[in-house]
Amino acid sequence: MDYERKKVSIAVVRRLPRYYRYLEELLRHDITRISSKELSQRMGVTASQIRQDLNCFGGFGQQGYGYNVEYLYKEIGNILGLYNGYRSIIIGAGNLGRALANHTSFERRGFKLVGIFDVNREVVGKEIRGIAIKHLDELEEYIKANKVDIGILAIPKDSVSEVAQRLVDLGVKGLWNFSYTDLNISGTVAIENVHLSDSLMTLSYQITEGK
């Protein structure tokens, strides 16, 4: 599918994973075709929004037929780059890093975890899901010898900028940052800052407003 990614807003891109999840669920229930109206009822968004979002990438639907679920599922996966076999490493083997390493759904989405690093020598050499934890001092040597696309940052915010810059300088193209601070890194790199507490505060607002 040929389209101009630069013209697609980040708001649309952020909705694509949700479409992908719902389509995956439809496939599990052997549903092969669905209209934008039916999909909107399941997802709680308007049919118009769905059509507008998908039209950014070519549309995919046929009037009077709707969407071929399997085809749309695969095309959205392709748009999201889920078939590119991106290789990732985790920096930080604390509680959060270990939880991320054990989250096997990432690999089902096409992201392969190939390395884990930490500065704590007490955990270096131990394994998580068969992957031995390496000391952060080995980072440069490892990346120079192995293809790494994504760095997952699960370290304190006071050290995250320095480590992130090291990763970018070594050619890592994407950073998934769980360090509770927004990164500002020089170089060509995609950054997704994850603030888990933001979601919790949003939930708090909804509860408060519902009183």
93: helix, strand or coil: coil
Residues ≥6 apart with Cβ < 8 Å to 132: 116, 125, 126
HSE-up (13 A, CA, CB side) for residue 47? 10
* Per-residue pLDDT at 54 exceeds 70: yes
CB 82 within 8 A of CB 109: yes
* Per-residue pLDDT at 116 exceeds 90: yes
Per-residue pLDDT, averaged over 163-175, amounts to 96
Last residue of a domain, one of 42, 62, 79: 79
Same domain, 125 and 151: yes
Residues ≥6 apart with Cβ < 8 Å to 202: none
Beta strand 33-34 pairing with 87-91: unpaired
Q: What is the pLDDT of residue 46?
A: 95
Same domain, 130 and 155: yes
Count, residues in the chain: 211
Domain count within the chain: 2
Q: What is the pLDDT of residues 170-186, one digit of tens each?
A: 999 999 999 989 998 87
Residue 43 resides in a domain: yes
Q: Which domain, by its residues, includes 106?
A: 87-198
CATH number for the domain that contains residue 192: 3.40.50.720
Adjacent-strand bridge partners of 88: 113, 150
Q: What is the pLDDT of residue 211?
A: 60
Burial 44-64 (b: 16+ CB within 10 A, else e): ebeeeebbebbebbeebbeee
Q: Hey, what are 49's tokens?
A: 């929004």
Per-residue pLDDT, averaged over 52-61, amounts to 86
Same domain, 74 and 159: no
- pLDDT band with cut points at 50, 70 and 90 for residue 1: very low
Helix residue ranges per DSSP H, 10-138: 10-28, 36-43, 47-55, 69-79, 95-101, 105-108
Same domain, 50 and 128: no
How far is it, in rounded angstroms, from Cα 156 to Cα 139?
A: 17
**Cα 117 from chain centroid?**
20
Last residue of a domain, one of 79, 96, 115: 79
Q: How many Cβ atoms from other residues are within 10 Å of residue 143's Cβ?
A: 19
Same domain, 71 and 127: no
- Looking at every residue in the chain, the average pLDDT score rounds to 91
